[in-house]
Chains A and B, each alone.
Chain A
Amino acid sequence: MSATGTGHTVIRPYGDTTGDGRVQLSFTLPLPSGTEEERALADGAAAQLARKMGLDPAMVVHTKAMGPDFTFFIVYGVVRHLVDLADVAVARREFPLMSAAEINRRIRSALGRELVVVGASVGTDAHTVGIDAILNVKGHAGEKGLESYAEIRVVNLGAQVAVGDLVARAVAEHADAVLVSQVVTQRDAHISAAQQIAEAFSEESGMTRRPLLVVGGPRFDPAMAGELGVDRVFGRGTTPGEVASYLVHALAPEPQGSAA
């Protein structure tokens, strides 16, 4: 049946016996269960859902009314499905996710100084929600923003920053990376803003090295980096930790010869 390590690549969930396929599941249905009759119907509905999800047999072990209109269920059952490890697709990020402590350590060991990030929303975009979610200590999605990293110095310019001002500030601050968030997408404003920034930095002669250019926003496609002329594009749902991990991957790679 199943066994990794003996050459087999097909597995099933494990309850208490190899291959038993037992799983648990909980969910809510918009059904009342106050009366005996209602509860019987609700239990039946839960069992039917579980069977359709592939649990067979399915056992409804807990039914609880939540107010007059909803019922919560816990179900145990056996799934017939097989997982073929040969077919498992793994999404690969080009960089590993690191903890805040690892990121700070890496910046110290690889750069030996603070990593400087300048961030803004440019042009007519008055939305700071994206850049603030990534930069503010408050952060986003349960992760603190880049300001909370001891080894990252953040200069957050806010919204409606002129591209020229952004470039000038990046030069003045010796920015390692420039983060730009664009939320407004009318007439592809976010695309043209990103391209303007890339051009402005490529024309800027006052810097010894161009900072890493990172753009993000809910309508960006991460595959567009090349087309936009920037180093990395982040889309919807990006967390501060992902951005910090990427910055370290790109700017503070592990020193050569360090033990793995």
Chain B
Amino acid sequence: MPVSERGGGPGTAVPDTGQPAGPAGAVLPALRLDPAVVRRARELAEVAGRPIVEMARSHTTVSVERAVLRLAGLDGADPGDGMPWVNHLVDAVRDSCGLAHGVALPAWDALLAGGHPGLAALAADAAAGKVKFRVPEGPDAAAARAAATAALAGGFARIDARKAEREAMIRETADPPKPWIYLIVATGDIHEDIPQAQAAAREGADIIAVIRSTGQSLLDYVPEGATREGYAGTYATRENFRLMRAALDEVSRELGRYVRLTNYASGLCMPEIAALAGLERLDMMLNDCMYGIIFRDINPRRTFIDQRFSRQVHARAGIIINTGEDNYLTTADAVDAAHTVVVSQLLNEYFGREAGLATGQLGLGHAFEINPAVPDSFLLELAHAQLVRQLFPGAPLKYMPPTKHMTGNVFAGYLLDAFFNLCGALTDQSILLIGMMTEGIHTPFLSDRDLALENVRYVLRAAGRLGENIRPPAGGFVERRAQQVLDESVDLLGRIAGDGLLTAIGDGTFGVTRRPADGGRGLDGVIERADGYFNPASEFLERDGGESAEGQR
């Protein structure tokens, strides 16, 4: 059994045990950061984030309501137009009586009225215009609430069972040591992705990410079934999730090491995809508080409302989120904008915690993107990476390799990736996305991936314990730079807390683009909640609202 696949295959000059040399925590001694400044940064992030949470609590979206139906077990699509039944049902309820009370009250009220054996039949009739929905009141409302809650109990029982199954799989195989090696698969065809993902796992990947088809984030529905056609990626569908998780379970057992699966809960269907990820035991999900707004021009309000619900579902499912701060540095300068990364991380932390995510589920992101022509660029990277490590000591930080300064010179790129790996090892990053020397040229060749893994293995073996053997001098360049970025972060957070986060986003504070609160896609899917709004999922997800359900666990 090729359990030693993380080591070099036959033909490598140096035998490789596959184990990084350093014990966990063998990292750079702490830089001196003023705890009062760190505390101030967190307070300001909360001040900036709280009004957003209030908005999310007082609104819903079409995608949140569709996620409710998915958690109740409504799957599949209309064979006529290919549109998922959840879209048809939510649209029909919206047309009939609006969504201000949520989809659950009218939908289960209609089910209780009889004539439909289940949600799918109801959705089909609703799509044909044969159902008149109403918002029930009094005893009818209580009955609908009880029926909806019972229906969702099934979905949450499945999510809980999936979480227990993950824990059992990890016990049966093994949890790989950190840093976890993260590799990407993206053929567009799930049946091509599967053997590639298994090969990547055998080559040493601890995490497989299946990149989504370009533009899926802008679809206001989740495609159905196993898909074989995508643009530069593979559609996120429930069936694709299921197929890939099953394939990785197979290879996890073969390797004696649990291989995690990652996908994307971003875009217009964030809550639904989060639900499907929980139902199919994905392990990590890209879920950033502002990525869709900045890079996909999705409406800010829609994004924040969808995001809160999706993170609540991730929290319940034991999924680690990955945030997308690395993206800012692909547009903005990595030195000048270093503090925007920290600001976004603090916001992601606040929103994540508020939604119930544990520290161990906060895979905050950052990246090694400083122009290598800048003097002391490695020291600057070291300062940034160590600052993030110290600010979020328990978080499984995700560190992204250089992309912007990968020029096509594969030899120089290989060296840059080695420095990235070294910085990651020195600063105890938890998840290393492995850099490809052919970044920006093509989808990685088999050999590109193999060379990239050889690179990271060498660095961890040779210098995994370097951190505990050096000490950046107090008051030296690295420490001063970390302090400076932290100070700049506090300044920016102060401005955001004063002006409001939506205003800051509208002014182009993050990335380089202005995104006004009422612009972008998906605003028409945002609905203000009425007084009697009811979401049966909240019974299971809100810590204060779901005591009875949570108390059982």
Within 8 A of B (CB), among A70-123: 70-72
Q: Decide if A148 touches B10 in the complex (CB within 8 Å).
A: no
Q: Which residues of A contact B12 (CB under 8 A)?
A: 64
Q: Decide if B331 touches A66 in the complex (CB within 8 Å).
A: no
B335-378, CB under 8 A of A: which get 1 and which 0?
00000000000000000000000000000000000000000000
Contact of A65 with B11 at beta-carbon distance under 8 Å, contacts A136-B297, A137-B511, A142-B440 already known = yes
Q: Does B88 contact A (CB under 8 A)?
A: no
Within 8 A of B (CB), among A142-164: 142, 144, 147-148, 150, 156, 158
Query: Which of B297, B403, B445, B450 is A156 in contact with, Cβ under 8 Å?
Result: B297
Give chain B nearest CB distance to A202 CB in angstroms.
Answer: 30
Query: Which of B10, B218, B296, B447 is A26 in contact with, Cβ under 8 Å?
Result: B447
A-B contact count (CB 8 A): 78
Q: Decide if B447 touches A28 in the complex (CB within 8 Å).
A: yes
Contact of A129 with B214 at beta-carbon distance under 8 Å, contacts A144-B331, A147-B513 already known = yes
Query: For the complex, what is the distance from the CA of A133 to the CA of B218, rounded to whole Å?
Result: 12
Q: Decide if A63 touches B11 in the complex (CB within 8 Å).
A: yes
Q: Which residues of A contact B203 (CB under 8 A)?
A: 66-67
Query: For the complex, what is the distance from the CA of A231 to the CA of B128, rounded to whole Å?
Result: 45
B440-461, CB under 8 A of A: which get 1 and which 0?
1000011100110000000000
Q: Does B202 contact A (CB under 8 A)?
A: yes
Q: Does A128 contact B (CB under 8 A)?
A: yes
Q: Does B521 contact A (CB under 8 A)?
A: yes
Q: Decide if A132 touches B11 in the complex (CB within 8 Å).
A: no
Query: For the complex, what is the distance from the CA of A91 to the CA of B79, rounded to whole Å?
Result: 48
Query: Which of A28, A67, A72 is B199 in contact with, Cβ under 8 Å?
Result: A67
Contact of A138 with B9 at beta-carbon distance under 8 Å, contacts A67-B202, A128-B215 already known = no
Q: Which residues of A contact B327 (CB under 8 A)?
A: 138
Query: Which of A72, A138, A142 is B295 in contact with, Cβ under 8 Å?
Result: A138
Q: Which residues of A contact B10 (CB under 8 A)?
A: 33-34, 39, 65
Query: For the complex, what is the distance from the CA of A133 to the CA of B5, rounded to whole Å?
Result: 38
Q: Which residues of A contact B521 (CB under 8 A)?
A: 158
How many residues of chain B have a CB within 8 Å of chain A? Answer: 33
Q: Does B512 contact A (CB under 8 A)?
A: yes
Q: Decide if B296 touches A66 in the complex (CB within 8 Å).
A: no
Q: Decide if A128 touches B218 in the complex (CB within 8 Å).
A: yes
Q: Which residues of B contact A34 (CB under 8 A)?
A: 9-10
Give chain B nearest CB distance to A89 CB in angstroms.
Answer: 22
Give chain B nearest CB distance to A226 CB in angstroms.
Answer: 29
Query: For the complex, what is the distance from the CA of A140 to the CA of B512, rounded to whole Å?
Result: 17
Nearest to A34 among chain B residues (CB) is B10
Q: Decide if A66 touches B231 in the complex (CB within 8 Å).
A: no
Query: Which of B9, B295, B403 is A66 in contact with, Cβ under 8 Å?
Result: B9
Q: Which residues of B contact A158 (CB under 8 A)?
A: 218, 521
Q: Decide if B9 touches A129 in the complex (CB within 8 Å).
A: no
Query: For the complex, what is the distance from the CA of A136 to the CA of B298, rounded to whole Å?
Result: 11
Give chain A nearest CB distance to B84 CB in angstroms.
Answer: 16
Q: Which residues of B contact A68 (CB under 8 A)?
A: 2
Query: For the complex, what is the distance from the CA of A65 to the CA of B10, rounded to whole Å?
Result: 6
Q: Which residues of A contact B503 (CB under 8 A)?
A: none
Query: For the complex, what is the distance from the CA of A67 to the CA of B294, rounded to whole Å?
Result: 40
Nearest to B218 among chain A residues (CB) is A128
Give chain B nearest CB distance to A141 CB in angstroms.
Answer: 8
Q: Decide if A137 touches B331 in the complex (CB within 8 Å).
A: yes
Q: Does B330 contact A (CB under 8 A)?
A: yes
Q: Decide if B296 touches A138 in the complex (CB within 8 Å).
A: yes
How many residues of chain A have a CB within 8 Å of chain B? Answer: 32
Give chain A nearest CB distance to B503 CB in angstroms.
Answer: 19
Query: Which of A26, A65, A133, A150 is B9 in contact with, Cβ under 8 Å?
Result: A65
Query: For the complex, what is the distance from the CA of A72 to the CA of B448, rounded to whole Å?
Result: 10
Query: For the complex, what is the distance from the CA of A232 to the CA of B307, rounded to whole Å?
Result: 41
Q: Which residues of A contact B2 (CB under 8 A)?
A: 68
Q: Which residues of B contact A33 (CB under 8 A)?
A: 10-11
Q: Which residues of B contact A150 (CB under 8 A)?
A: 512
Query: For the complex, what is the distance from the CA of A148 to the CA of B440, rounded to whole Å?
Result: 18
Within 8 A of A (CB), among B286-340: 294-297, 327, 330-331
Nearest to A32 among chain B residues (CB) is B10
Query: For the complex, what is the distance from the CA of A150 to the CA of B267, rounded to whole Å?
Result: 24
Give chain B nearest CB distance to A150 CB in angstroms.
Answer: 7
Give chain B nearest CB distance to A120 CB in angstroms.
Answer: 13
Query: For the complex, what is the distance from the CA of A64 to the CA of B450, rounded to whole Å?
Result: 10
Query: For the complex, what is the distance from the CA of A202 to the CA of B521, rounded to whole Å?
Result: 30
Q: Which residues of B contact A72 (CB under 8 A)?
A: 446-447, 450-451
Contact of A129 with B231 at beta-carbon distance under 8 Å, contacts A65-B10, A138-B295, A138-B296 already known = yes
Give chain A nearest CB distance to B12 CB in angstroms.
Answer: 7
Q: Decide if A129 touches B403 in the complex (CB within 8 Å).
A: no
Q: Which residues of A contact B199 (CB under 8 A)?
A: 67
Q: Decide if B440 touches A133 in the complex (CB within 8 Å).
A: no
Contact of A137 with B11 at beta-carbon distance under 8 Å, contacts A129-B215, A148-B331 already known = no
Output the residue of A26, A64, A68 with the most chain B CB within 10 A: A64
Within 8 A of B (CB), among A31-70: 33-34, 39, 63-68, 70
Query: For the complex, what is the distance from the CA of A144 to the CA of B329, rounded to whole Å?
Result: 12
Nearest to B445 among chain A residues (CB) is A28
Query: Which of A67, A132, A148 is B512 in contact with, Cβ under 8 Å?
Result: A148
Nearest to B450 among chain A residues (CB) is A66
Q: Decide if A136 touches B446 in the complex (CB within 8 Å).
A: no
Q: Decide if A66 touches B447 in the complex (CB within 8 Å).
A: yes
Q: Which residues of A contact B296 (CB under 8 A)?
A: 132, 136, 138
Give chain B nearest CB distance to A242 CB in angstroms.
Answer: 15
Query: Which of B9, B331, B445 is A64 in contact with, Cβ under 8 Å?
Result: B9
Query: For the complex, what is the distance from the CA of A148 to the CA of B445, rounded to whole Å?
Result: 30
Q: Decide if A70 touches B446 in the complex (CB within 8 Å).
A: yes
Nearest to A66 among chain B residues (CB) is B450
Nearest to A63 among chain B residues (CB) is B11
Query: For the complex, what is the distance from the CA of A219 to the CA of B5, rounded to whole Å?
Result: 43
Q: Decide if B9 touches A67 in the complex (CB within 8 Å).
A: yes
Contact of A133 with B445 at beta-carbon distance under 8 Å, contacts A64-B9, A138-B295 already known = no
Query: For the complex, what is the distance from the CA of A27 to the CA of B512, rounded to whole Å?
Result: 40
Within 8 A of A (CB), among B188-242: 199, 202-203, 214-215, 218, 231
Query: Which of B11, B403, B451 is A39 in contact with, Cβ under 8 Å?
Result: B11
Q: Decide if A137 touches B214 in the complex (CB within 8 Å).
A: no
Q: Which residues of A contact B512 (CB under 8 A)?
A: 137, 148, 150
Give chain A nearest CB distance to B123 CB in angstroms.
Answer: 22
Q: Which residues of A contact B330 (CB under 8 A)?
A: 144
Q: Which residues of A contact B5 (CB under 8 A)?
A: 67
Give chain B nearest CB distance to A13 CB in angstroms.
Answer: 17
Name 27 A/B residue pairs within 8 A (Cβ), A-sorted: A26-B447, A28-B446, A33-B11, A34-B9, A65-B10, A65-B11, A66-B203, A66-B446, A66-B447, A66-B450, A67-B5, A67-B203, A71-B11, A72-B446, A72-B450, A129-B215, A129-B231, A136-B296, A136-B297, A137-B295, A137-B297, A138-B296, A142-B440, A148-B511, A148-B512, A150-B512, A158-B521
Please provide the 3 A-B residue pairs with the shortest distance between their CB atoms, ordered closest to farther: A142-B440, A65-B9, A129-B215
